[in-house]
Amino acid sequence: MEKLFSIVEAAELLGVSPSFLNKARMLGSGQVYVKIGRNVGYTSRDLEAYVESRKTAHTAQNAA
């Protein structure tokens, strides 16, 4: 089984705040996550996939 990173650990890896992850999760616009009971976790595979999905060549790609 793959290690689950906590919200704080995942935020640190991504260079964002834990509140960013919480808000993204609420809005459904963030990273894929695992929820077991009250605990939320992120796999390294899912965090890497999120980072890959955010790659752009120039700022015009984000306009829409």
Condensed to tens digits (0 to 9), the pLDDT of residues 19-64 reads 999 999 999 988 999 999 999 999 999 999 999 998 888 877 665 5
Which amino acid type is present at position 55? K
What global pTM score does this model have? 0.82
User: What's the rounded Cα separation, in Å, for the pair 2 and 44?
Assistant: 8
User: What's the rounded Cα separation, in Å, for the pair 33 and 60?
Assistant: 29
Locate the domains of the chain by residue range.
Answer: 4-54
